[in-house]
Chains A and B, each alone.
Chain A
């Protein structure tokens, strides 16, 4: 079985973003970038499927400018076999990403596609589901457990009230939730080896996909600041403030 994993280069999750003064976007100049945490979990799951002998090959794909090759190399160091970059000047929106991934899937014919449930920059939570719709494949979103057996995959999903399990016929799309696994760290020898693994570059044109945006970003603002609070001395004062000042209890 071949597994395709989509990964995204995003701002490191520990960095506190700043909005540009002209409110055109957030400021990503000289900011530390990293693999989206949910994508890391997706790579880890694919590599574990390979270690169990279920997957023969793990292919990682990322879409964006040349810089995304850095994250593809990271995924290769974590255990993926080869990488594909779909070169675009900017990061396209979720629908365009799903169309590009569909183009890659037509060439690669994976049995399982694993994505993160959302990217921590746009917080959209769309791409995997859209890919499912475009390819007609079933989807197991927000997965906390994945069992592949006999042409199907059982996916335990994290839903609002608890957990839900669905059975999907392969080929299928899975998106990862945080508790699916704990991603490993790349070791230095593996980082060195990853430099020699194949990394192909393709373009939206070669995949026959146009990447136009229909949603315009008009403005980005910082969220409303909360007014500074106060420290109370003890429980009695806290309860008094909540009752008489804030009037919430």
Chain B
């Protein structure tokens, strides 16, 4: 049976999470087709057709898909997905939004946020904020799966030779419409894809002090994240939140500054390769997962760190 992967993109560029989802699809094994649904997204289809392992790209280019509304995209994927054995999408907010609709329309369960492929019907996924790893086996004829991108290495973006085929299925609805969006502007690397992440917590005391982190981030080419405490206190916007309810990151280096290390925060970063904790409380739980811990006042440490890098 073939596998259908739903590409994540912004109508202009492919999101890196798709290449990682393709890696999961390759591990399942089978002919891989990719659906690119959007508005004015031909370039994305051409881009993903070159990715390693892609045999065919289905391009659904229509205004109805421009904002990836779950009502339209879910129905489109469910209609196309009937002919596939597996349907995969990255576990981003877009994937999490429309994929369960696909599963329900096909009357099958969904397996969320897989971190490993054991076989074509058996997968591993974290539960309880990552404090337990479940191995689950699906008996459904069609497996609807979202993939945790940080758990897979991206397939090569070049070297593949898939064909692009336009499809004219149009699903639109009059019950949901896009009104507007407010996207956070950032010059820094994307949090979920960054090689280095430096995050601040309640210990930062206020939003202005985050510039201390930004200066270090600039030296390291790092993305800046935050704990829920820092977001709730209004220091930084919520799209910077790392944790069970925010973003899941697994960079090579994660530097936690003024973060105690609550279970919900650890759920979002404990698969990082190297973890550094900077905290003045030596009893803080973050030190239990840190490879390198420094017990000191962050207001002394951050300027010194910036200088030494």
**In the complex, how many residues of chain B place their beta carbon closer than 8 angstroms to a beta carbon of chain A?**
90
Quick one: given A160-B92, A167-B177, A235-B304, are A249 and B253 in contact (CB under 8 Å)?
Answer: yes
Using a CB-CB cutoff of 8 Å, which residues 102-123 of chain B contact chain A? 102-105, 107-113, 122
Partner of A231, one of B103, B105, B295: B295
Is A185 part of the binding interface, using a Cβ–Cβ cutoff of 8 Å?
no
**Do B93 and A95 have beta carbons less than 8 Å apart?**
no
Q: Decide: A16 and B131 in contact? CB cutoff 8 A.
A: yes
Whether A130 touches B101, Cβ cut-off 8 Å, given contacts A124-B110, A214-B109, is: yes
Residues of chain A with a CB closer than 8 A to B135's CB:
217-221
Complex Cα spacing A223 to B266, Å: 12
What 0/1 readout, one digit per residue, does chain A (122-154) give for beta carbons within 8 Å of chain B? 111111111111101111011010000000001
CA distance A249 to B94 in the complex (A): 33
Interface string of B260-292 (1 = CB under 8 A from A): 000110000010011110000010000101111
Chain A residues lying within 8 Å of B99, measured Cβ to Cβ, are 129
Bound form: Cα–Cα A139–B232 in Å: 25
Which A residues, 21 to 43, have Cβ-Cβ distances below 8 Å to chain B? 26
Chain B residues lying within 8 Å of A246, measured Cβ to Cβ, are 253, 274, 291-292
Which of these binds chain B: A56-64, A189-197, A236-244? A236-244
Q: Does A206 contact B (CB under 8 A)?
A: no
- Judge if B1 is at the interface, Cβ distance under 8 Å: no
A118 to B110, CA, bound (A): 14
B83 close to chain A: CB less than 8 A: no
One of B104, B182, B238, B252 near A98 (C-beta < 8 A): B104
- Residues of chain B within 8 A (CB-CB) of A242 are 253, 274, 276, 292
Q: Is B162 an interface position by the 8 A CB rule?
A: no
Chain A nearest CB, measured from B104 CB (Å)? 4
A138 touches B133 (CB 8 A): no
With beta carbons under 8 angstroms apart, the residue of A11, A130, A216, A238 that contacts B294 is: A238
Q: Does any Cβ of B come within 8 Å of A81's Cβ?
A: no
A231 engages B70 (CB within 8 Å): no
Docked CA distance A216–B136 (Å): 6
* Candidates A16, A93, A141, A235; contact of B263 at CB < 8 Å: A16
A5 to B287, CA, bound (A): 39
In the complex, number of A-B residue pairs with CB atoms less than 8 Å apart: 254
Pick the residue among B101, B182, B184, B289 that contacts A139 (CB under 8 A): B101
Whole-angstrom CA separation of A217 from B301 in the bound complex: 46
Interface assignment of A66: CB less than 8 Å from any CB of chain B: no
Check: B20 CB closer than 8 A to any chain A CB. no
Q: From residue B9, how far is it (CB to closest CB) to chain A in Å?
A: 12
Q: How far, in angstroms, from A137 to B74 measured CA to CA in the complex?
A: 12
Alpha-carbon separation in the docked complex, A200 to B136 (Å): 34
CB-CB nearest in chain B for A235: B304
The main secondary structure of chain A at its interface with chain B is mixed
Within 8 Å of chain A (Cβ to Cβ): is B40? no
A223 touches B132 (CB 8 A): yes
Known: A123-B128, A126-B110. A217 touches B136 (CB 8 A): yes
A130, B291: Cβ atoms closer than 8 Å: no
Given A94-B109, A137-B175, is A241 in contact with B292 using a C-beta cutoff of 8 Å?
A: yes
B62, CB-defined interface residue at 8 Å: no
- For A122, give the chain B residue with the smallest CB separation: B127
Q: Assess whether B128 is in contact with A121, with CB atoms less than 8 Å apart.
A: yes
Q: With contacts A19-B132, A129-B97, A238-B292 known, is A215 near B71, CB below 8 A?
A: no
Give the docked Cα–Cα distance between A118 and B178 (Å).
Answer: 23
* Pair A123/B129 contact, Cβ less than 8 Å: yes
B232: chain A residues within 8 A (beta carbon): 178-179
Instruction: Check A230 for interface membership: any CB of B closer than 8 A.
Output: yes
B101 A133 Cβ-Cβ under 8 A: yes
Residues of B within 8 A of A17 (CB): 128, 131-132
Cα A178 to Cα B246 in complex, Å, equals 10
With a cutoff of 8 Å between Cβ atoms, the chain B residues found around residue A157 in the complex are 93
Task: Knowing A123-B128, A223-B130 are in contact, say whether A160-B104 is a contact too (CB < 8 A).
Answer: no
Is the beta-carbon distance between B140 and A161 smaller than 8 angstroms? no
A165: B residues at CB distance < 8 A: 178-181
Q: Are A162 and B127 in contact (CB under 8 A)?
A: no
Chain A positions within 8 Å of B205 at CB level: none
Given A17-B131, A94-B110, A231-B294, check contact A178 B245 (CB 8 Å). yes
**Contacts from B to A (Cβ < 8 Å):** 67, 69-71, 74, 78, 92-94, 96-105, 107-113, 122, 126-140, 173-184, 192, 196, 220, 228, 231-232, 237-239, 244-245, 247, 252-253, 263-264, 270, 273-276, 282, 287, 289-296, 301, 304-305, 308-309
Q: List 16 A-B contacts (CB under 8 A).
A: A11-B128, A121-B127, A127-B100, A130-B101, A133-B74, A133-B105, A134-B104, A138-B175, A159-B93, A160-B192, A179-B231, A218-B135, A238-B294, A239-B309, A246-B291, A248-B274
Closest 3 CB pairs of A and B: A129-B100, A138-B176, A133-B104
